[in-house]
Chains A and B, each alone.
Chain A
Amino acid sequence: MSQLTTLSLYQPGNSFLHRLDPLTKLVWIIIVMAFVFVIFDPIEPFVIFLVATALALVSGVGKAYLKGTVLLLPVLSSMIFLQSFWVLTAMPVFKSAVVRPIFSLGPLTAYYEGLYYGLVLASRVLAFGSIAILGLLVTHPADLFASLLRLKVPYTFNFMVLTTLQLVPIMNREAMIIIGAQQARGLKARGFGAILPSFVPLFASAMERVRLLANTLEARAFGSTGRKTKLRPVEITTKDYVLMALAFAFLAGWVGYVAKFGVINNMSTWIVPLWFAMLLVWGSAVTFLALSVYFVIRLM
């Protein structure tokens, strides 16, 4: 995971999304997540994914966005593959439903209902994954936590999260140096036998870091209750208030729609051309099997 060298997807920029207050973006992300989890149809979440992609391109973070979204591929293909063939076994709640087979392969049968359910789950994850990735690309973590202070999130908690984000790349680099040095000296650097020699030096230094950090915090009056200044000041503007109001209006409209018409669910009537259904099932199956082979080869 190359992002662990920084543990942040943030891409510097000056687009409209970059300039928004982190709280505005957080409110939109939470409302979109709530929206996709109360619908039972793949179309709307897929539209959200397309909107997120367009916003990423407009904000100049398209390349990093696509790289982040590709990481969702294993879980998406697993969902569609598992549900297409085994929706009846996996989710006993569907046992009473009428099922329409797409095709059979030996003892295995793929169903439209399974494919639909797999697409619903996959599109939900695609929607909330893509919108969250976009949010992370255009928001500096320090800005996010500075904004959370305004919501009275404890300062200590914010400090802990930001320190973790800073420590991980350092400890990750140390771990790679230790493993590399051990490999260079012919020490076994694969499998269970390599765990202890790799972990102990790293964690001994981690514990030393705890003591050093605790002393530093004590020396700099960490526990003082006075007003604290920020390295990166974050200002909330009128456009943030307008966008937050729009987000809540969207939520209220959606709640009203669900109250009147119920949750969108087209499972029993959903149909696509046979070739398209087969393409989706085979596509997910091939991706799933390719990733499985990759995992097994890595273990050997």
Chain B
Amino acid sequence: MKTSEKIREVAFPMTYIAAMVPVAAAINIVGGTIANVLHLPIFLDMIGTCVAAITIGPWWASIAGLITNMALSFVRPTILPFAACNVGGALVWGFGVMYGWGKTWPRFLALSIIANFVVSAIAQPIAIFIFGGATGHFSDIVTAALLAMGWSLWAQLFGPGQLAGYADKILAAFLALAILEALPPELKIWVPITKAPPMRRVTYIVVGLIVAGFVAVVFYAWLWYFVPH
């Protein structure tokens, strides 16, 4: 993407930004709670970050991401180091749409995949150096299974355990698109962005990724158990 194609940032009133950032952070936190209530194996804690990245730009969205983890750390202090992940996601989504990666839904899908890769690349060293690879979340089961099969914690950055992360970011990004369509006209976004595709299509992609991750782990387990090593 050429630099000339970059969309010029529009100056929003400070009062709008001061209202949007906390709402985006609150959406992140409540999204995580809803994922828990609906018994989903994903986080959904970056929807607000994505909305903010597209509406008010990457830097303010980074602040929303930072505030999300700061606010959550008031009840779970161990979550604070992962604030960098939310900031990383905000920058990828914000600069991505600024450079035209939100014009069509396949491009936006690719952008969300890149966002997850960046988030994982930031999260994995934090999880390894501070928590020894453990998070206290559902994903620890996959981590343990892959460790048992000889994967190192670093190699897991590219492993099937990350597929749930991709599903999470894709779902968050497309939910953000659906939310953006509910924005009042005077607060419409400053970048050309695709219309939200039918959610059923996104759900199929997401469920497909989670099933693929599960099948890949089972396949590796099968290889590990039956193939001499």
User: Could you list which residues of chain A lie within 8 angstroms of chain B, going by C-beta atoms?
Assistant: 1, 3-4, 7-9, 37, 68, 71-72, 74-76, 78-79, 81-83, 85-86, 89-92, 108, 117-118, 121, 124-125, 128-129, 132-133, 136, 141, 156-157, 159-161, 163-165, 167-168, 171-172, 175-176, 179, 189-196, 198-200, 202-204, 206-211, 213-215, 217-218, 222-223, 288, 292, 295-296, 298-299
Contact = CB atoms under 8 A, between A and B. Distances in A.
Given A82-B143, A167-B23, A206-B27, A217 B18 contact: yes
A267 B29 CA distance: 39
Contacts of B203: 192-193, 195
In order of increasing CB-CB distance, the 6 nearest A-B pairs are: A75-B136, A78-B134, A132-B77, A74-B136, A213-B19, A163-B22
Given A9-B75, A295-B138, A195 B175 contact: yes
Main secondary structure of the interface of B (DSSP, over half): helix
B188 to A, nearest CB: 11
A72 B77 CA distance: 9
B192 interface: no
Contacts of B137: 74
Contact of B67 (A90, A124, A160, A208): A160
Contacts of B143: 82
B16 A214 contact: yes
B26 interface: yes
Contacts of A141: 74
B223 interface: no
Interface of B: 13-16, 18-23, 25-27, 29-31, 33-34, 36-41, 44, 47, 63, 67-68, 70-71, 73-78, 128, 130-138, 140-141, 143-144, 147-148, 150-154, 171, 175, 178-179, 182-184, 187, 199, 203, 206-207
Contacts of A172: 29-30, 33
B176 to A, nearest CB: 9
B144 A288 contact: yes
A175 B33 contact: yes
B141 A292 contact: yes
B19 A9 contact: no
A178 to B, nearest CB: 9
Contacts of B147: 82, 85-86, 89-90
A82 B140 contact: yes
B140 A168 contact: no
A211 B16 CA distance: 7
B130 to A, nearest CB: 7
Nearest to B167: A192
Given A171-B26, A193-B203, A203-B179, A164 B67 contact: yes
Contacts of A213: 18-19, 22-23
